[in-house]
Structure 1
Amino acid sequence: HYFMMDEISQVLHNRGHEVRMLLQTGVLMIPGKGTFPRRDLSRYLDFMNHLAYQCHVILNKSEILNSLKDEKFDITVMDGCNPCSFLVAEKLGLPFVVVFPGTFANGPQVGFPSPLSYVPVFYSNLADHMDFWGRVKNCLMSLVSAIVQYQVQTKFENIIKEHFPAGSRPVLSELYLKAELWIYNTDFSFEFAHPLLPNTVYIGGLLAKPAKPLSQELEDFIANSEDGFIIVTLGSMLSSIPLLEVLQEINTAFAHLSQGVIWRCQHSKWPKELKLASNVKIDILWLVCLLPTGGMNSLMESIYHGVPVVGIPLFGDQHDNMVRVEAKNMGITLRIDQLKADKFTRTMKYKSAVMSLSTIHHSHQLPPDQRLGRWLEHVLQARGGAHLQPYAFQQSWFQQYLLDVLLFLSGSVLGGALLFSSCQCSYWKIVSICPGIEQKSSWDILHEALLEVI
């Protein structure tokens, strides 16, 4: 998340804008955060509770907030994964642009049309091609997602009551719809196709850069690896896995490969009791196959460079990301609890598919940094992004789903049916009382009765 915001700051700075970054210092990773099972929502809610506590601390820093107000900023660009970002922007009274460092997972919260028949819900582990049971699961997951979002927002209610005056207290669900722009770190070379709103910009690949020359040591290593290379990058999640057991399996698998392997890891963190295979080197380099944990930045870089992926997802959005990797045929997923050397060696392929995705990604008229800069400047010049937001954001939920119209039409049809039935009943009563009147039609009798009443 920090890398993404830092790169955006640099892009804006390079375009002549003055930028300030508000960064809260503290524990970068919540203890145990990387170890929770994927469906253990209580851990996720605990993490949100921790963010709520941090939010309380930030909003109590009146000196910092007042100094930011005095800067007279034009706009706020913020990380959309932390609900507190919205409250800080609201406290400063600034318009805001939101960066979401992943897929369009929060589409329902920000107003995207998200048909459950082909738009998978976050945490569903579904692709867009769903069979009947897949659609059933997606519908049920949408209900779970709504409940979780409600629970997340309730964790910030006391923060809002404490730091905002009565009568002008924001509601998080409404703040999500208030953003001038939503910027996503994804791309349709990776994401499933589905509807977006005009205030949506996707800049996947912003962190990807052209390859740089290698050191002589790595060049020599490459020269001895005629079949190409593999890079392993478990990132910040390395301490969150059963280290020795997993590393042993991966290392054993690599010993049977003809490719050279570069393992992105600090030497000090490598277990001393585990001897590296002869074709494995600990360092960082250019690659022909990527082994990440499924984080978005690594996956967009693999598309940028046309590199297949063998992913080992651990938590959060990584599982859903790897569903997309497999659906796009750019790689395969290996579960951390089923990681065996023989499975590992059978998955080194998919080069052709990922090269096609790379071509799609590079065929945009403008690169990600220029799309980002131009859209932000468009909002600044237009003095906001209201013209990009649908009127639906100002409607009640029952108006958006036409429930009031359906109720009116249903009532009209029912009322008409009851009126006709009543008239028919009256007609037959009149016929039974006045023999011979049956020669007149029911509509004639109704017309005469109305004239008499008038």
Structure 2
Amino acid sequence: MAGDKAQTILLLFFLQFPLLQAAKILTVCFIGGSHYLLMDEISQILHNNGHQVRMFLQYGNSMLPGRPLQQRPYSVSTYSLDKKYLQENEELFVESQKDYLVGRNTLQNFVIFLRELSYQCNITLQQSDILNFLKEEKYDLAVIEGFNPCSFLVMEKLGLPFIAFFPGMMMNGGRIGIPGPLSYVPLFGSELTDRMDFFGRLKNTMMYLGSYMIDRIMDAPFQEVIDQHFPAGSRPTITDLQRRAELWIYNIDFSTEFPRPLLPNVQFIGGLLAKPAKPVTQDLEDLIAESGESGFIVVTLGSMISSLPLVEFLKEMNDGFAKIPQRVIWRYNKTSWPKELSIAQNVRLMDWVSQNDLLGHPKVRLLVTHGGMNSLMEAVYHGVPVVGIPLFGDQYENVVRIKAKNMGTFIPPDQMKAENLANALQEIMENSSYKTSAMKQRVVLRSRPFPPDKQLVGWVEHIIQSGGGGHLRPYSYQQPWYQQYLLDVILFISACVGVTIYLIVKVIRLLIYLMSSNRKQKQN
């Protein structure tokens, strides 16, 4: 009898929490480089966990220079940009790199980049055959690359519930309603830490006041796309679309990020590409063996930057590496190396390197990186100190955090001199405190209760099972702006205080008048 009762309770328990059947999931990626690497990894993780996955991919920006093409286990719907446009876009990117390498990382450059994305988005929204096919497939959920606003416009066209995966740090926290106290949460672009002095807090506040105008400037190229592809009366804003995400996932972790308040619909799942190291190729192992006790350093400046367009910058880096005893394994397109520049004897150029595997090698001493989040997560995972050379985007903010955690330092590109680089490399490798800090952050990252792939799958399946993320989103998403900032309450209190002060003044004036009248009557 007791056994029957136990079986009944167990059955009721499982009926309340039914097992999730294989879901149909669409992943969306319209940017190449590290953005594509992450979305490819997400697609593979979901596929390996039994879900039916298809990626909507913009071909042309997804290829990685020097990286061998790999067979994907999931389905792909793709389209290609015009070859002439791709060539022109590549030339524009090279010109932008020249600006970045001399320290000109301006808002204007970023707006130009967004205009290119908006032009590509126009082409994307014209792919009616693919869009109709995807709409007819009736996916349960989409996981989109959340940096490119075009992903949100495609979701609006398809009418799908979606999770937004952001490939880097929290650049858009304020836009999606995440609390950000200005006293200890630095704004994107401020290059501040969470330990701000008075002038740091002043800078943070002034940047916050100007952020609304900057958001409008950055949204303008895509607002034109919205006007063209959505009928009047039902045209969404970028902020509206971002707030429709069932869940926001950021490719960051508190091993590098500063502590800050979060909402239930925001999850930090950083380090999807950081994994236990595999053995390197035999030729690399032989090269590393030649380094002896000095070891080697890894140099990579991003998955989309296979060469540097400024010979002067390249010469300073090469001369800096020549001043250290370590071997240098540098990911660089060998055919693009300037013929007039002799490669330092301790430097090996390679078109592609398995960065994660090299960082897990026992003889690695340091990573020289542009400061991309994927590279930093791999460095943290393997406990490797860092010297950053930030170029654009969130890279400056990322390396500020690495320096604040005492995991390394950074050199602004306009200060790149051989002596500066050599000194920074020697300081990080000879001062054991940096390695100690790197190993401490490694423990923080690796000792999370669940690995990032399990967190990803768990949250995706939770959103599908619960029918969306409405229970995670704050009510503030539905409030008008004046209610969110309590302006109506402030106005009411101000009015009450004003009326009270007015009445008090009137009463005092009346009392004074009556008292003066009584004196005059007594005198008369």
Q: CA, structure 1 residues 429+228, in 2 after alignment: closer, same or farther (shift >3 Å)?
A: same
Q: Give the CA deviation at 1:411.
A: 1.2
Q: Distance in 1 between matches of 2:486 and 2:205?
A: 20
Instruction: Say whether 1:356 aligns with 2:440.
Output: yes
Contact 1:35/1:314, CA 8 A, preserved across alignment: no
Contact 1:13/1:19, CA 8 A, preserved across alignment: yes
Instruction: Say whether 1:410 aligns with 2:476.
Output: no
Q: Secondary structure of the residue that 2:57 maps to in structure 1?
A: coil
Q: Distance in 2 between matches of 1:413 and 1:18?
A: 62
Q: CA, structure 1 residues 157+245, in 2 after alignment: closer, same or farther (shift >3 Å)?
A: closer
Contact 2:163/2:245, CA 8 A, preserved across alignment: yes
Q: Give the CA deviation at 1:399.
A: 1.1
What TM-score, normalized to structure 1?
Answer: 0.90
Contact 2:265/2:473, CA 8 A, preserved across alignment: yes
Instruction: Say whether 1:18 aligns with 2:95.
Output: no
Instruction: Say whether 1:369 aligns with 2:449.
Output: no
The residue type paired with residue 403 of structure 1 is L
- Larger deviation, residues 58-67 vs 233-242: 233-242
Instruction: Say whether 1:398 aligns with 2:468.
Output: no
Q: Give the CA deviation at 1:110.
A: 1.4
**Aligned residue number for residue 451 of structure 1:** none
- Larger deviation, residues 191-200 vs 32-41: 32-41
RMSD: 2.2
The residue type paired with residue 345 of structure 2 is S
Q: Secondary structure of the residue that 2:297 maps to in structure 1?
A: strand
Q: Give the CA deviation at 1:52.
A: 1.7
What TM-score, normalized to structure 2?
Answer: 0.79
Q: Identity over the aligned pairs, expressed in percent? A: 51
Q: CA, structure 1 residues 218+162, in 2 after alignment: closer, same or farther (shift >3 Å)?
A: closer
1:80 maps to which of 129, 146, 169: 146
Deviations 1:246-273 (A, max 9, x none): 3322222323322222112233233333
Contact 2:168/2:251, CA 8 A, preserved across alignment: yes
Q: Distance in 2 between matches of 1:44 and 1:300?
A: 24
Deviations 1:114-153 (A, max 9, x none): 1122211111121221111112222222233321211222
Contact 2:307/2:332, CA 8 A, preserved across alignment: no
The residue type paired with residue 299 of structure 1 is L
Q: CA, structure 1 residues 249+166, in 2 after alignment: closer, same or farther (shift >3 Å)?
A: closer
**Aligned residue number for residue 443 of structure 1:** none
**Aligned residue number for residue 24 of structure 2:** none
- Equivalent residues in 2 for 1:190-229, closer than 5 Å: 190-225=256-291, 226-229=293-296
Deviations 1:62-93 (A, max 9, x none): 22211110000111111111111111101111
Contact 1:303/1:361, CA 8 A, preserved across alignment: yes
**Aligned residue number for residue 186 of structure 2:** 120
Q: Distance in 2 between matches of 1:3 and 1:368?
A: 15
Aligned residues: 436
Deviations 1:137-195 (A, max 9, x none): 22222233321211222222232233222332212111111111111111110111111
Contact 2:307/2:336, CA 8 A, preserved across alignment: no
Instruction: Say whether 1:35 aligns with 2:108.
Output: no
Contact 1:36/1:315, CA 8 A, preserved across alignment: no
Q: CA, structure 1 residues 335+414, in 2 after alignment: closer, same or farther (shift >3 Å)?
A: closer
**Aligned residue number for residue 5 of structure 2:** none
**Aligned residue number for residue 293 of structure 1:** 370
The residue type paired with residue 237 of structure 1 is I
**Aligned residue number for residue 342 of structure 1:** 419
The residue type paired with residue 113 of structure 1 is P
**Aligned residue number for residue 168 of structure 2:** 102
Q: Distance in 2 between matches of 1:434 and 1:132?
A: 56
The residue type paired with residue 311 of structure 1 is G
Contact 1:259/1:279, CA 8 A, preserved across alignment: yes
**Aligned residue number for residue 259 of structure 1:** 326
1:378 maps to which of 458, 462, 467: 462
Structure 2: any 5+ residue segments left out of the alignment? 1-34, 60-80, 429-433
Q: Give the CA deviation at 1:274.
A: 2.7
Structure 1: any 5+ residue segments left out of the alignment? 439-454
Q: Distance in 1 between matches of 2:105 and 2:280?
A: 42
The residue type paired with residue 7 of structure 1 is E
Contact 2:105/2:391, CA 8 A, preserved across alignment: no
Q: CA, structure 1 residues 239+423, in 2 after alignment: closer, same or farther (shift >3 Å)?
A: same
**Aligned residue number for residue 9 of structure 1:** 43
- Larger deviation, residues 34-43 vs 393-402: 34-43
